Amino acid sequence: QRLEDKSGLSSIYNEFGNIYRTQGEFSKALDYYQKSITNHRLIGDEKGNAPMYSNIGDLYLMQGDEQKALEYFEKGLKLYQESDDLLGIATIYSGIGSVKQDEKKVEEALDYLNRSLAISEKINDQQGAITTLLSIGLIYLDEHLLTKALEFCRRSYQLAGQLGDIGNQRDACDCLYESYKHLNNIELALSFHEKMNILDDSMQVEETARQMQQIEFANKLLADSLDQVAKDMEVEMVHQAEIQKKTMNRNLALVFGFFFLLLSIGLYRRWLYMKQSKAIIEKEKERSEALLLNILPSEIADELKAKGTAEARDHEVVSILFTDFKGFTEKAARLSAADLIAEINHCFKAFDLICEEFGIEKIKTIGDAYMAAGGLPVSNPDSVANTIKAGLKMQDFIKNRITEKDENGIAFEMRVGIHTGPVVAGIVGVKKFQYDVWGDTVNTAARMESRGEPGKVNISQDTYYLVKNHADFNFTPRGMMEVKGKGKMWMWFVTEAISPTEPI
């Protein structure tokens, strides 16, 4: 303002409008957009108002005022067309398409969105293409044109993944999940539901970082305000000294008193604000910590925070546990996708609590299979026994679930297999990383599960030798059984030993 740079001031006003729009303060956002428009008109740059008209159109669209939104979009479109600004034209077409979608004018909405997409692809505006592809896919989903919905949402998902756009990638996952669910493709619906949950966690971490940045920005504004108060008071004191020399002492005393009063109030408000901000930051740090620990073991998370990396490690004695539902595909066909996912989620939540109870580490879920490991990331002399106890308790949970639900025909029987041996464990990837294990032990544990029987826990010879004298277990030898890729292997069923004090 002091330099009278109206063009630069217009850009600043527009950015302030964008900030307030993001924060949901629509009236303040509109005020700054209008100030930007006024400044452009003062310098005779009406074409420079096209972005503001587009932003105001978005603002009214967010508030559900389609008529006002369309009015400003059309103003912006006219200016962009006069300037032959293809990026701006594509943006406006997308906005008008959203208006038509809200008005349930599907054909018009698709027409404008396809125009926007064609321009975005022509000028290689990948970010614009992502949002437009997703908008088109969601319209087809609403119209139950599922093949079309899959086509556009998949393209949006793939492009968002290439650009690292987590928000649109998550929304595209949701579209694909809903489409596959309506098509009764349970396997792919589950796959995209799991991906959506992982992306939700990533977005929560980003949102926490964004909130902490907002707090730091607010603190900076407060500090700048106090500094400006001090400067203004200094100017005021000099001015008073020049025009009232005869009453200098009295006026200076008043000014200093007023200055220190303002300074005291400002410092008190800053102290109070910093105290509140510190509490908010601590709370957000705790949430971030909880999210990280939900993905990684605490020891690995600590190493990652301290060093920025976590090395893969060899572990000599680790018990790998696999579960799998018998006849999953056949029974899944009798359930809706929503009921199926709810049932699996109910079981896996219970398994998570059981793993926590016995101190074993959940590794991952693969469709209807659940994988966990005892003895990671820190070895434990009781890890083998605890892994078996966890497997037995999981089977008890499933048996109780069958009693509750089987008359409705939707309960699942389950196999559990355990093998103990050496593995390599560490973090996979640098984005959306996860803790995983590798080695022949993992493959053998999977074979123990597949060669098991519903309702029972099947263990290998190596696991049996480590716990064969354990007072809490009874073992039933199964003899040597053929195992794919391994030849014949000894196996045992294990059950919980009944205490002499318990009724038989």
CB atoms within 10 A of CB 25: 13
Q: What is the pLDDT of residue 317?
A: 96
**Rounded average pLDDT over 206-233:** 53
Q: What is the pLDDT of residue 298?
A: 73
Q: What is the pLDDT of residue 3?
A: 35
User: CB burial class (10 A; 0-12, 13-18, 19+) of residue 449?
Assistant: buried
Secondary structure of residue 387 in the 3-state scheme: helix
The 3-state secondary structure of 148-214, one letter per residue: HHHHHHHHHHHHHHHHCCHHHHHHHHHHHHHHHHHCCCHHHHHHHHHHHHHHHHHHHHHHHHHHHHH
Q: What is the pLDDT of residue 1?
A: 43
**Contact yes or no for 445/320 (Cβ under 8 A):** yes
**In this predicted model, what pLDDT tens digit does every residue of 55-97 receive, in sequence order?**
999 999 999 999 999 999 999 999 999 999 999 999 999 999 9
Q: What is the pLDDT of residue 207?
A: 61
Above 80 in pLDDT, residue 157? yes
- pLDDT top residue among 40 and 31: 31
In whole angstroms, what is the distance from residue 221 CA to residue 441 CA? 58
Q: What is the pLDDT of residue 43?
A: 81
**Contact yes or no for 26/62 (Cβ under 8 A):** yes
Q: Which of 290-294, 400-404, 433-437, 490-494 bottoms out in mean pLDDT, i.e. has the lowest?
A: 290-294
**Rounded average pLDDT over 116-123:** 95
**In this predicted model, what pLDDT tens digit does every residue of 378-399 receive, in sequence order?**
899 999 999 999 999 999 999 9
pLDDT band per the 50, 70, 90 thresholds, residue 215: low
Above 90 in pLDDT, residue 476? yes
**Rounded average pLDDT over 100-119:** 94
Above 90 in pLDDT, residue 114? yes
Strands (E), 393-472: 414-428, 434-438, 457-460
Query: Angle of helix 248-295 relative to helix 186-243, nearest 10 degrees?
Result: 170
**In this predicted model, what pLDDT tens digit does every residue of 447-457 receive, in sequence order?**
999 999 999 99
Q: What is the pLDDT of residue 465?
A: 97
Question: Where in the chain are the domains?
Answer: 211-295, 301-496
Question: Of 186, 168, 179, nearest to 127 (Cα)?
Answer: 168
Mean pLDDT, the chain, whole residue set: 85
pLDDT band per the 50, 70, 90 thresholds, residue 222: very low
Q: What is the pLDDT of residue 331?
A: 79
- pLDDT top residue among 19 and 331: 19
Most confident of 205-219, 280-294, 464-478: 464-478
Structure token digits, residue 489: 């292997």
The CATH number of the structural domain formed by 301-496 is: 3.30.70.1230
Above 70 in pLDDT, residue 229? no
pLDDT band per the 50, 70, 90 thresholds, residue 370: very high
**Contact yes or no for 494/468 (Cβ under 8 A):** no
